[in-house]
Amino acid sequence: MVDMTTRFFEDLDRRGFEPLLVKTSGTLRFDLHEGAQTTHWLLEIDRGNLRVRQEDGEADTVVGTDPRLFGALVDGEENAIAALLRGDMTVVGDLRLVLQIERVFPGPPDSRGPHHAFARRAA
Amino acid sequence: MAGSNTVRILDGNTFVVSEDTGDIEATPSEPTGLFSLDTRYLSKWVLTVNGERLNALSYDDLQYYEARFFLVPGMATHYVDAKLSIIRERVVGGSFRETLTILNHDEKAVDLEIRMDAGSDFADLFQVKDEILNKKGELYAEAEPDRLRLGYRRGNFKRETVVSTNQPARYDNRGFAFSVHLEPNEQWNVLIDVQTFAIGPGGRDLRIGLRAHGTERLALQHDLEEWIEKAPKVNSEHGRVAATYRRSLVDLAALRFSPLSLGGQTLPAAGLPWFMTMFGRDSILTCLQVLPFAPEMSKTTLRILGALQGTRFDDFRDEDPGRILHEMRYGETAAFEEQPHSPYYGSVDATPLFVVLLDEYERWSGDVALVKELERECRAALRWIDDYADLVGNGYIWYERRNTDTGLENQCWKDSWDSVSYADGSLPPFPRASCEVQGYAYDAKIRAARMAREFWGDPGYAEQLEREAAELKARFNRDWWVDDGGFYALALDPQGRKCDVLSSNIGHLLWSGIVDDERAPRIAEHLIGPRLWSGWGVRTLAEGEVRYNPIGYHNGAIWPFDNSFVAWGLRRYGFAEEAATVANGILDAATYFDGRLPEAFGGYQRELTKFPVEYPTACSPQAWSTGAPLLLIRTMLGLEPHEGHLAVDPRLPVGMGRIEVLDIPGRWGRVDAFARGRLDLHNLAG
């Protein structure tokens, strides 16, 4: 079974373009540390165009977290800004890139959105 | 809130609130301290000389970032026998630095034991008014040979205060001390440096590389001088308007805030001391107020709010796609999701106001590039209005929080629990729709239509928006009009029943343009009529309403910011004299507060109290109160961008004399505006 993180990055790479990032350019590296092992994901953003590689390379911003938390972030279970403030996620380099990519993460799976009163009446 | 004898200095969101001796001894009722990133880094900072507390002779808050305290040993007595003077000078600029100077006035030499007790509870800003009993993490204090380290650790969340001095001190876990020998007329100095750290697991501080300007005193001074130099000059015959303007300009400089994500650019924070952070509503309204004087704030505000615009459903944060944030916080409760401010989106006015500000900013600046840059965000904001905010499905913006534990009940500017009521005083159920927000939505559509036609190359969208706006206006004038009162209801409940109370919100409706022309005179009449008009300003709720109370926060108190938009609205519909009446009342009130308007003051009749009574726990300076005099000056002078140049159409009351505003920046370069008081207001108000 493919894990959430792999699915997230593969999906970004397949899409190749994210309209929420059209004003963003730069390279982010995600270092997912587990014990002595680190998995690297390198994400290049060029005005919304995306390219993902699973490698350790130069980046404008390096994000460090444990793989479990990162899986929860891309699943919407955890929030990246709160994780950053908590120190559970570290950022070296341009913080703005993290705040931009964070917007692509989904909301919590149990969030329903606005309760439309007319929908309630109809139900 | 801190009492009135406290001294507050700040730089960005680092600030110090202390007693008039400079000491800090935080309690829930006197929440003093050194704060940064929404965290208290010092809750104890008490100076003693030979074991004795000190007594304040005087203090000066010289600039917003520095203060000076003159002290003598012993508590206040009839006669202060001062053989020693102690001067504390402090500056906040990134870190907190205090210089102690001790002077011996005695003819004999003295030996002194000088001690500073230092401690921190690392309270989150949301906790400072509570007894803090059960911090979930661990507090620690480590005395090292050359420094004292105070810290708090909860998982990877780590905050540290590090105190060091430029003279050797004896450090222990509760402070530090010096033994000093002073000959007659000799003096001794020490510089104490207090650094605040927000440390991640890698040992790096969250805030690295994010400072707006240098942290040295000289850099702060230079920055303030440059800020004042860049702004237009205001001269007035009687000096009072000019003095109020100058005070506002300096306070606005103090309230500039550099969010973590903006790389050092600044936008207005909401207010000192408890609201030194980004608020969608407050930041946007302040930008609108100060556009003729400090336009660059609008650009950074729009960019940062656009960059943090909602993209998904998050019920804890009340986030929807396209929604503009309400409030951002950086403290422990936000980090551990005990509060939703990471960021919180529970506001319904920030989103339409975002569109309004972008258009207004372009009309002044001619910055078409920004309008193009933010087209996507504007469209998303407009989609939010139609798709997600219309909870009842009848074409209005409604609110009902999804975070029922820590979210906001009332998501309009009058956000206290009892601010929305029916005429019988009872509170309506949710969802609720507040009238001024419908006006903002109307204005946002009209303004977005202009941007779509002129800059986005989408005339079809422009026509659609104009059609929707016209339908909204017709619908609103049908559904919200209270016939027997001759005004618009404050709010609607989900069944369409009106909250039929007379409120200041109708002035915002004039500002937005949603009021039918034939109804505008009735609205203007109400605004300066006896029920709403106190003589100083327009009350939030009219006298005679069940919930009216002259010191009711949103139920009768007078808010200078509210009045500035009321005046703008009156002017928009051609009620120049009524607008001048409001401007005159508020600017008169400002002189009682040395030019620094509080958040709110009492709605008492002017003849009754003779002076404006400050609202008990008002926050000051507060950004949109600071911006109010600037918008009132704009309104009285009738400053309006018109086809690439600045139109000036002054309507000033006689008593105001001559006013000139020099070097108003905009697409025209810089131009001057002159005005002379000609209006006799005596026949009007009452």
- Mention every residue, 6+ apart, whose C-beta is less than 8 A from residue A100: A20, A21, A24, A45, B307
Q: Are B378 and B451 in contact (CB under 8 A)?
A: yes
In whole angstroms, what is the distance from residue B10 CA to residue B96 CA? Answer: 9
Q: Nearest CB to A116: which of B206, B262, B391? A: B391
The B residues from 298 to 317 touching A (CB cutoff 8 Å) are 307-308, 311-317
| Residue A66: CATH number of its domain | 3.30.1050.10
For residue A120, is it within any domain? Answer: no
| Residue B77: CATH number of its domain | 2.70.98.40
Residues of chain A with C-beta less than 8 angstroms from the C-beta of B311: 20, 103-104
For residue A116, is it within any domain? Answer: no
**Minimal CA–CA distance to B197: which of B208, B188, B184?**
B208
pLDDT score recorded for residue B621: 81
pLDDT score recorded for residue B254: 84
Tell me which of B6-10, B113-117, B587-591 is least confident.
Answer: B6-10
* Residues B243-269, mean pLDDT to the nearest whole number: 79
For residue A80, is it within any domain? Answer: yes
**Minimal CA–CA distance to B634: which of B425, B363, B341?**
B363
Give me the interface pTM, i.e. the ipTM. Answer: 0.95
Q: In this structure, are B605 and B507 located in the same domain? A: yes
Q: In this structure, are B261 and B394 located in the same domain? A: yes
Q: In this structure, are B462 and B567 located in the same domain? A: yes
pLDDT score recorded for residue B11: 74
For residue A85, is it within any domain? Answer: yes
Domain count, chain A: 1
Tally helices (H) and strands (E) across chain B: 16, 30
Q: What is the pLDDT of residues B16-28, one digit of tens each?
A: 999 999 999 998 8
Domain count, chain B: 2
Please identify which residue in the block is written with the tokens 């009350």. Answer: B539
For residue B222, is it within any domain? Answer: no
CB proximity A95 to B under 8 Å: yes
The B residues from 321 to 350 touching A (CB cutoff 8 Å) are 330-331, 334-337, 342-343
Q: pTM above the 0.80 mark? A: yes
Q: What is the pLDDT of residues A94-123, one digit of tens each?
A: 888 998 999 999 999 999 999 876 665 544
| Residue B487: CATH number of its domain | 1.50.10.10
Domain boundary among B169, B199, B229: B199
* Residues B508-531, mean pLDDT to the nearest whole number: 98
B57 pLDDT above the threshold of 70: yes
DSSP labels, B334-356: HHTTSS--SSB---SSHHHHHHH
B167 pLDDT above the threshold of 90: yes
For residue A43, is it within any domain? Answer: yes
Q: pLDDT band at residue B207, thresholds of 50, 70 and 90?
A: low
pLDDT score recorded for residue A96: 85
Give backbone dihedrals phi and psi of B122, rounded to 5 degrees, phi first: 50, 40
Q: What is the pLDDT of residues B60-100, one digit of tens each?
A: 877 888 899 999 987 666 556 678 999 999 998 878 999 99
pLDDT score recorded for residue B619: 64
Q: Are strands A61-65 and A25-34 parallel, antiparallel or unpaired?
A: parallel
Q: In this structure, are B416 and B502 located in the same domain? A: yes
pLDDT score recorded for residue B430: 96
pLDDT score recorded for residue B1: 35
Q: Nearest CB to B314: which of A64, A90, A107? A: A107
Q: How far is CA A28 from the centre of its chain?
A: 10
B290 pLDDT above the threshold of 90: yes
pLDDT score recorded for residue B212: 39
Paired strand residues for B98: B90, B192
Q: Which domain holds residue B542?
A: 256-279+298-635
Q: Are B566 and B285 in contact (CB under 8 A)?
A: no
pLDDT score recorded for residue B209: 41
Q: Which domain holds residue A55?
A: 4-109
Domain boundary among B597, B619, B635: B635
Nearest CA in chain B to A106: B312
Q: pLDDT band at residue B263, thresholds of 50, 70 and 90?
A: low
Residues of chain B with C-beta less than 8 angstroms from the C-beta of A116: 390-393
For residue A114, is it within any domain? Answer: no
Tell me which of B238-252, B353-367, B434-448 is least confident.
Answer: B238-252
Q: What is the pLDDT of residues A21-80, one digit of tens each?
A: 999 999 999 999 999 999 999 999 999 999 999 999 999 999 999 999 999 999 999 999
Domain boundary among B605, B635, B665: B635
For residue B56, is it within any domain? Answer: yes
Give backbone dihedrals phi and psi of B351, rounded to 5 degrees, phi first: -70, -55
pLDDT score recorded for residue B59: 83
pLDDT score recorded for residue B678: 87
B406-B407-B413 Cα angle (round to 5): 135
In whole angstroms, what is the distance from residue B372 CA to residue B617 CA? Answer: 42
pLDDT score recorded for residue B643: 85
